[in-house]
Amino acid sequence: MWRTTVGHLMQSAADTPALRATLLAKLKQILVQERAEITQMILAEHIDSFLSDIIKFLLTCFKDLASRQKCCECLSELGAIDPGRLDINLLPDFNCEEPEKSALVKRLTEDYLFKLLKKAVCQAQAGYAIQELFHECGCTGELVTKHCSSQGCSRQQPDERDRGALALWNSFRPDVRDSLNPYLSSKYSLRENATQPDLPIFKQKIEYRSWVVTWTAHLIGVFHTLYLGNQENRKLACSPIFYACRQVISYDIDTALFILPLLVLNVIRSGTTEMRNDILAEINAVLEGCKTFVDHPKHTVSINDDGQLCTQEVFYVVAWLTKWAETTGAQASASECRTATAATRGSAPRDQDVAQVVGMLSQIQQLQIAKASLNYKAYARSLMHLENHLRTLSKQQVELQNQEPTKMRRDDCVKLLVSENAEFLQRIFCGLDDPDCLSGLARLRQKTSLCEQILDHESTGEWNEALTCYEQACQYCASHSTDYKAYLQGRLKCLRNLGRWGTMLSLITSEVSQPSASGVAIPSELVSYGVQASWRLGDWARLESFLAAPTCPSDWECSLGRCLLSLQSESVDFTKNLAAACGNLTAPLTAASCESYQRAYPSLVKLHILQELEQAQRYKNASAAEVWRQRLAITQPSFKIQEQILNVRRLMCRIFRVPEEEATHWLSIAKTARCGGQFQIAYNALQQAIYCNGLTAAPANTQTALKYRLEEAKLAWAEGRQIAGITLLKKAMTSRFAEATSSCDDSYKETVTEVHELMAKVCVTLGKWTQQTGNAYHSIMPFYIQATIFNDKWEKGHFYLAKFMDSNLVYFRDTQSMMKVPVEQIESQCSDLVKTLSEYGKALTYGHCFLFYSLSRLLTFWFNFGYHAVSWPEGLHGESSSKHVEKQKVRIAQHISSVMQSIDSLTTTLPSYVWLCGLPQLISRICHRNATVYNTLSVILQKVLTDYPQQTIWQMIALCQSQNALRRQRAEEILHGCDKRDVPKLYHECSRLCKQLLTLCTLPLHCKASGSQKMTMSSDPALRPLLDMHDLSLIVPLQRYLTASLPASGKTDRSFSPFPSQLPTLKSICDEFTVIRSLTKPRKVTLTTSLGAECPFLCKPRDDLRRDARLMEIATVVNKLLKNDPDARKRKLYLRTYAVIPLNEECGLIEWVEHTNGLRPIVSQLLGDSAIQASVVRSILDPKNPDTFDIVLHKQPPIFYKWFLQTFPEPSAWFEARQTFTHTVAVMSMLGYIVGLGDRHGENILIDLSTGAAVHVDFNCLFWKGEKFELPERVPYRLTPNIVDAFGLLRYEGVFRRVAEITLGLMRVNTDTLVSVLETLVYDPLVEWGREQHDKSPSETENVDAVTTIRKIASVLKGRLDKSASGSQNCFTEQLSVEAQVNQTIEAATSKENLVQMYIGWASWI
């Protein structure tokens, strides 16, 4: 209900600006009331897009000055939501096309002038503008009455001009026409009061609005002068339109901003050289308005908000002109190709226009824009222009060398330029908060200056090292020099980040006199640092002194200090100070709202803090533990962000005298600092947790004491003091054990206290640590067992106990391990197996944080154990006496019964959506030879089928078409045995549809020799039954409708629904389909949903799509792992997945990946006629001479990077798209590497045209099949020059390398989970693995090829690198670290020796 209300509020606020503030106040009330549900939405596995819409709406409202305060209040209620959880695009549609005259009039009138008619202050000016626009287009009251009114429908046909005018009038909405009708015959006039401004218009401290309006009005006058001098020139035809708006722009800056780039374009291409020079001078004046680029990292640039907005507008105009020139030039080239006479039109007007604009833009230095952008904190823009500048220099240097290409490589030039501009790049990457790029830059840098060392230390949080550098620098500077002041501020910053606030105050005091005593003014920068140290120390007298200083700035720290001081003193000024602090954030939020949520995030964190201050003051206490916990959980999980919030909270606890809560917040600071690698800060916070109560030892309260000891031990472990950490935990456990266990009676398990939860955490931590230090089994096991006793309903305790016992079940890892094992050894582990399965089951019962690991291991053990239990215990042999062996067999029989009972109980205990997550593994064992196992398996499958029939049927339908008779029979038994009413209908529909799709797949078609061909189903009798299938109850099998979501709470919830209540069903199938040009001739068919959406799919014949399906399942699991990992979530790592539905062993259905284009077609389009032919490449490349690869690159250098510049001209969008491309390439490269994915040519790697993500398709060449080609593949994945160059100046260093390490590290930790997905192929093998023999088998058998492949994958995951990537096959090294393994694959993928040997169709030079 509230969602609907909010939707209406947002729509109303967008349509009626006058009521926006009131509507935002109502929105705030709703956000407060629905806080609990909104928090659940934020923490959900897949965040609701509606929440992103709310935040986007609020940020866009910052353009309205009157609404900013209310927007801040709403955003503060929402909190600083982690950017990794949201998908928000704040960038406006970057439409650089010059509209036609009528289109321009329509947009000006409907989107701008019409809204101004409702404002009394400018109603006359808006009316005049509309009147003149209608007059210019010939749209009169007489014409409209004559041809459009019901009374006067003329039979006379209007002429061409009148038809255009009528078309314009009819294009307006009815409500707009009603309001505009009086202006068709109005006779407004204006009193001219224009004055000629001094050029350039931009001056220091000029107001943004004044500058925009004055420059726009000046350009309108210039353009109108050109028009009066040559009214026949078609280029000047729009001048009267702009001239009509000459006064209305003074009242509405949005109108001015809309026409400004159009005016600049028209004056450039139609004006004189003097006019173009005036525009260039204006742009340069704005860019030079900020201070010049400085050499020291700590020099600050004084930037006023108006200057920042002026610069932002210049950036937009330059980007708009650049995009216009590229688009118009491309259109002209395409027109030339289509027109036979175009070759004779070298001086066409369009070409001249592009040349004028390009010439103008070339006079604006890229480096100048980069420096200005950096000073105004537009870091993405700065990086884009700096890269363009360095690429141009690199190209020039290569051309000037005039040497052999093998002697002067472009890559070498780029690396040299990167090293020379390392400090500039370093500042940009620091501003972007991109540690990956900083680490990559450090690897490429040839030398390091002191400033670069400082930035390196600061970016990695090495504040002690940075402090040392600053102190050394201060020793060599005069005490009153500018450098000394900059380094002094650097020292203070380091001390603040180290938590040494008392030292900060001492340093400030030693540098200047006391302000109240000597009268010497403290520099404003030192005042700000003094305020920061004072409020963090709770030194209210010193804080008041600093805030009273005449040089006290109005920055964030001082604003926050005033709020805290007024809160502590209960001053009536609190509300005023809070409003002032909030008001100071509106300017940076306004600038950020034009770019990205990430740029706005620091300001949102400050709003988050102010909201909590307001709540604490309102309720006069700081006891909001649960609300604060939830608000902290939604923030970005980084020390830099959370430390600010926690420090203010613990100070509020001190103000309101809640020492226990203050101690808890100090412990939270310690934990956050430890996780962020800030060990000194963590230690200081631990000490404060002791002394905030006036104690001299650990807190006396059991709960707080356990938290303290646990955090103290974890800090010791993180610092490398493992033995000390274990000792501390053992002491804590011993001292508190009796107290914690005293309540472990029968009622304990019903109500678990926080002390018991903490003791369970202590036990699990001890178990993990003692396990890592190599202790014996019997000394580790008790810790895990005790954890489950303290907290029997904690998923993590049961999981780690099960995982530990799992590691010792050596005979149950696969069926091969259990063959020929003596009965004594089997029996000794059967008991542990029963316990392991029980613990995995309990972990699944209480939560889903480890769902995929727990479920996959549970099913693997159950299936493998049941496989051999058929011949047990009679088939076992022993080494002891026969009597003893018989006793062992009896016990084994009891264990077999226990295992089966354990699984049986889980069939009713676990919700169906848990089993649904393991459905591929379940259905792969449908031919299990153990009757008891099969009976339980059929119960599970029928339960899942009953609860989620739509999703289950799509995954099981291929079994009904299987060539294996037993598999087909059992699948049909399960489907027919389900007693839910709609299952038979769904099965019948799906079966019919499947058969018809198979007909489409296998039908012989006569197609053209080249190119794709469109055909119709209605023209072929065999396909008409497929066309007749419509209005089905079956859902359309899209990936998002087949993948279950999980509860946001992390707890297993039987009432949770993993899918929306209403999913779109199959309405109809489009008659037209396309036969794709390919060896197998796949068919592209379109399914229409009940909601009217068209969903294309690919029907692929003669291909075993179970291979693709397994890889998509692994990708889905990897996405879950990436989503749960903080490092991966911060980087928004993911793989683009799509539905793969095998219809049988040879055909299937693949969800079409829309809005994509192949890498090779994109590069070919960029190259145009300059593309080098494959035959030329073949004549140059010599497999025995790697240097010939450089010759090819010299002839055709990388060009793919230009696609990102052209497709995403706005810098933030450009940077985001390139990061997304690099991330997705890295993640998929690692996944492809571990499963032996080959044949990654340019058509099998698609690029998402809207996000830049790389999407891989066609997984036919899987499991190292490429190594068996006639020309074996030599590389582990595709990392060719165009891909590497598109990563940016750092190439594969930095982002690609770090993301690859994160991904491979996660997959290595979860090896068992990933391998279990592929284990389905052991019992349901691919056709190429001897499928015929498997199909003839009367029962389930293992496939040797599948077992061998899975073992190889497990070896690669564990770091046993396959050297086949470098030349030799099937040779494994000793285990490598993740970093070393990634490095070896990069070297193999980029090696010229390997690339030069790839087959020519792979196009290794692209």
pLDDT digits (tens, 9 = 90+) for 417-445: 888 888 899 889 988 888 899 889 888 88
DSSP track, 628-662: HHHHHHTS-S-HHHHHHHHHHHHHHHHHTT-HHHH
Cβ atoms 283, 300 nearer than 8 A? no
Query: Over pLDDT 90: what percentage of the chain?
Result: 25
Q: Give me the pLDDT at residue 304, please.
A: 60
Q: Give me the pLDDT at residue 192, please.
A: 74
Q: 357 or 119, which is more confident?
A: 357
Q: How confident is the model at residue 1087 (pLDDT cuts 50, 70, 90)?
A: very high
* Mean predicted confidence (pLDDT) in 541-565: 90
Q: Give me the pLDDT at residue 294, please.
A: 38
Q: For residue range 626-655, what is the model confidence (pLDDT) as tens digits?
A: 788 888 988 988 888 999 999 999 999 888
Query: Sign (positive/negative) of CA torsion 1322, 1328, 1330, 1336?
Result: positive
Q: Give me the pLDDT at residue 915, please.
A: 93
Q: Give me the pLDDT at residue 701, please.
A: 60
* Mean predicted confidence (pLDDT) in 229-237: 75
Cβ atoms 498, 681 nearer than 8 A? yes
Query: Sign (positive/negative) of CA torsion 618, 621, 627, 630?
Result: positive
Q: Give me the pLDDT at residue 993, please.
A: 92
Rounded distance between C-alpha atoms, residue 741 and residue 542, angstroms: 48
Number of continuous H segments (helices) and E segments (strands) in the chain: 68, 10
Instruction: Using DSSP, state whether 601 is helix, strand or coil.
Output: helix
Q: Give me the pLDDT at residue 1296, please.
A: 95
* Mean predicted confidence (pLDDT) in 603-625: 82
* Mean predicted confidence (pLDDT) in 449-464: 83
Rounded distance between C-alpha atoms, residue 1145 and residue 162, angstroms: 65
* Mean predicted confidence (pLDDT) in 803-825: 67
Q: 564-597 burial, b if ≥16 CB within 10 A, otherwise e?
A: bbbbbeeeeebeebbeebbebbbbbbbbbbbbbb
Most confident of the following: 89-98, 115-124, 1153-1162: 1153-1162
Q: Give me the pLDDT at residue 194, please.
A: 66
Q: Give me the pLDDT at residue 1367, please.
A: 42
**DSSP code for 284:** H
In this model, does residue 1231 exceed pLDDT 90?
yes
* Mean predicted confidence (pLDDT) in 1204-1211: 86
In this model, does residue 1337 exceed pLDDT 70?
no
Q: How confident is the model at residue 458 (pLDDT cuts 50, 70, 90)?
A: confident
Query: Sign (positive/negative) of CA torsion 1092, 1095, 1096, 1101?
Result: negative
Q: How confident is the model at residue 1152 (pLDDT cuts 50, 70, 90)?
A: very high
Q: Which range is least confidently modeled, 160-174, 691-705, 840-854?
A: 691-705
Q: Which range is least confidently modeled, 439-448, 480-489, 1291-1300?
A: 480-489
In this model, does residue 940 exceed pLDDT 70?
yes
| Residue at token pair 């890295």 | 1226
Q: Give me the pLDDT at residue 517, please.
A: 40
Q: For residue range 1165-1182, what is the model confidence (pLDDT) as tens digits?
A: 998 888 888 888 888 888
Q: Which range is least confidently modeled, 370-379, 940-949, 1327-1336?
A: 1327-1336
Q: Give me the pLDDT at residue 274, please.
A: 92
Q: Which range is least confidently modeled, 575-584, 949-958, 961-970?
A: 961-970
Q: How confident is the model at residue 345 (pLDDT cuts 50, 70, 90)?
A: very low
What does pTM read for this prediction? 0.84
Q: Give me the pLDDT at residue 91, please.
A: 64
Q: Give me the pLDDT at residue 605, please.
A: 94
Which amino acid is it at 342? Answer: A
Query: Over pLDDT 70: what percentage of the chain?
Result: 85
Q: Give me the pLDDT at residue 480, please.
A: 65
Q: Which residues pair with 1362 in a beta bridge?
A: 1372
Q: How confident is the model at residue 148 (pLDDT cuts 50, 70, 90)?
A: low
* Mean predicted confidence (pLDDT) in 724-729: 90
**DSSP code for 108:** I
Q: Give me the pLDDT at residue 1364, please.
A: 46
**DSSP code for 1173:** P
Q: How confident is the model at residue 16 (pLDDT cuts 50, 70, 90)?
A: low
CB-neighbour burial class of residue 1030 (10 A; exposed 0-12, middle 13-18, buried 19+): exposed
Q: 623 or 972, which is more confident?
A: 972
Distance of CA 1149 to CAs 817, 850, 1044, 1109, 1243, Å? Answer: 37, 31, 20, 10, 19
* Mean predicted confidence (pLDDT) in 783-788: 91
Q: Give me the pLDDT at residue 800, please.
A: 93
Which amino acid is it at 991? Answer: S
| Residue at token pair 């824009």 | 369
Q: For residue range 308-325, what is the model confidence (pLDDT) as tens digits?
A: 788 888 888 988 888 888
In this model, does residue 96 exceed pLDDT 90?
no
Q: Which residues pair with 1096 in a beta bridge?
A: 1086
Q: 1194 or 1360, which is more confident?
A: 1194
Radius of gyration, CA atoms only, the chain:
35
Q: For residue range 925-934, what is the model confidence (pLDDT) as tens digits?
A: 888 888 889 9
Q: How confident is the model at residue 1361 (pLDDT cuts 50, 70, 90)?
A: low
Rounded distance between C-alpha atoms, residue 1001 and residue 1005, angstroms: 10
Mean pLDDT of the residues in the chain: 83
Q: How confident is the model at residue 752 (pLDDT cuts 50, 70, 90)?
A: low
Q: Give me the pLDDT at residue 1312, please.
A: 83
> What is the chain's length?
1406
* Mean predicted confidence (pLDDT) in 754-764: 88
Q: How confident is the model at residue 510 (pLDDT cuts 50, 70, 90)?
A: confident
In this model, does residue 530 exceed pLDDT 80?
yes
Q: Give me the pLDDT at residue 478, please.
A: 67
Rounded distance between C-alpha atoms, residue 608 and residue 642, angstroms: 11
Q: Give me the pLDDT at residue 703, please.
A: 78
In this model, does residue 791 exceed pLDDT 60?
yes
In this model, does residue 817 exceed pLDDT 70?
no
What is the token pair recorded at 645?
Answer: 């919030």
SS (H, E, C) 747-769: CHHHCCCHHHHHHHHHHHHHHHH
